[in-house]
Every structure is written in structure tokens, then in C-alpha cells.
């Protein structure tokens, strides 16, 4: 058996921080194609920020159309879209802490990684990559991420 001091519990209660929730939106990334935001930013009272970017596919924001040219072009466009959203929030690729990557064909994994690696040239984030049956608009990949910054 062990004793629990009330001091650490008091610290836990006093360290809970208030946060502000902000919708992040930019015309430099495609408008949401469903009932969701491009990103949500949580700002703690300490000034630290957590950003959750919705899944991005290879849509060209100026036309709303899926880019052609296969998995490399779609991955690059999805990452450009993420970059625009990060920028609108005041963050950048180095602030990304994790990504979830969805591919319709894991045979494209190597080509996907080539385009992905060029975006995250330094300190790539934690990541999961899975194959799915299909994605919106017939996209070959979708990438969502989270970032932390101040």
C-alpha cells in the first residue's frame, strides 16, 4: 500500500489550463467538401497551440478538381494543402507531430514516401499509413495531421 499526498493532486487541479478553440480556414487550401473545418486550433492559456488538420486529398484549391498524374502528384498536392493550412495557423511542417496517411493501394507506398519525405525534410513526424477501400473524389491518398507550437 502507498500513501497519496494531497500536494500532487492540488498541482493537477491548478495546472489545468483554459483553452480557446479556433477554426482555421484559408482559401489557399480546398474548401471542406463536407461538414468539417480545414483545421481546429486549440490555444492554451500558456500560449502553446495544438492544431488538428483535417484529412487533405490532392484537390487543387483554385479549381476544386483532383490533380492528375498519379500518387506522387496527389501526395504533393495534399501536402501543399496541409502546408497552406499550417501557414494560416502560424505553424509549419517542423511543428507537425503526427500524420495519418490513407492510401487506396499500398503498392504506391514507396512513391508516396518519396513525395512525403520531401515535405518533411527535417524531423519527420510520427506516422501511420494504412490501405483503405476508397477515398473521397476517387483520391489515391489522404493525409491528416496534428501540430504543436507556440
Please tell me whether the overall predicted TM-score, pTM, comes out greater than 0.75 for this model. Answer: yes
Rounded Cα–Cα distance for residues 75 and 94 (Å): 18
* Interatomic CA distance for residues 81 and 53, integer angstroms: 10
pLDDT tens digits for 73-101? 999 999 999 999 999 999 999 999 999 99
Q: Which residues contact 118 (CB under 8 A, 6 or more apart)?
A: 76
Q: Are 127 and 98 in contact (CB under 8 A)?
A: yes
Would you say residue 6 has pLDDT above 60? no
User: Residue 10's pLDDT is what?
Assistant: 41
User: Given a cut of 70, is residue 52 above it in pLDDT?
Assistant: yes
pLDDT, position 2: 43
pLDDT top residue among 8 and 90: 90
Query: Could you tell me the domains of the chain?
Result: 18-149 (3.30.1330.40)
Residue-level pLDDT at 16: 54
Task: Return d(Cα 70, Cα 54) in angstroms, integer.
Answer: 22
**Confidence bin at 105 (pLDDT 50/70/90):** very high
Amino acid at each position: 500500500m502507498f500513501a497519496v499526498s494531497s500536494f500532487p493532486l492540488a498541482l493537477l487541479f491548478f495546472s489545468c489550463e483554459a483553452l480557446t478553440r479556433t477554426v482555421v480556414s484559408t482559401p489557399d487550401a480546398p474548401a471542406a467538401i463536407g461538414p468539417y473545418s480545414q483545421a481546429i486550433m486549440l490555444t492554451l492559456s500558456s500560449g502553446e497551440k495544438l492544431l488538428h488538420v483535417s484529412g487533405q486529398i490532392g484537390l487543387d484549391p483554385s479549381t476544386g478538381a483532383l490533380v492528375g498524374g498519379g500518387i506522387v502528384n496527389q501526395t504533393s498536392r495534399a501536402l501543399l494543402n496541409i502546408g497552406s493550412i499550417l501557414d494560416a495557423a502560424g505553424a509549419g511542417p517542423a511543428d507537425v507531430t503526427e500524420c495519418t496517411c490513407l492510401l487506396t493501394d499500398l503498392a504506391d507506398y514507396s512513391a508516396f514516401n518519396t513525395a512525403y519525405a520531401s515535405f518533411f525534410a527535417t524531423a519527420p513526424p510520427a506516422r501511420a499509413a494504412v490501405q483503405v477501400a476508397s477515398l473521397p473524389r476517387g483520391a489515391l491518398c489522404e493525409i491528416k495531421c496534428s501540430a504543436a507550437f507556440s
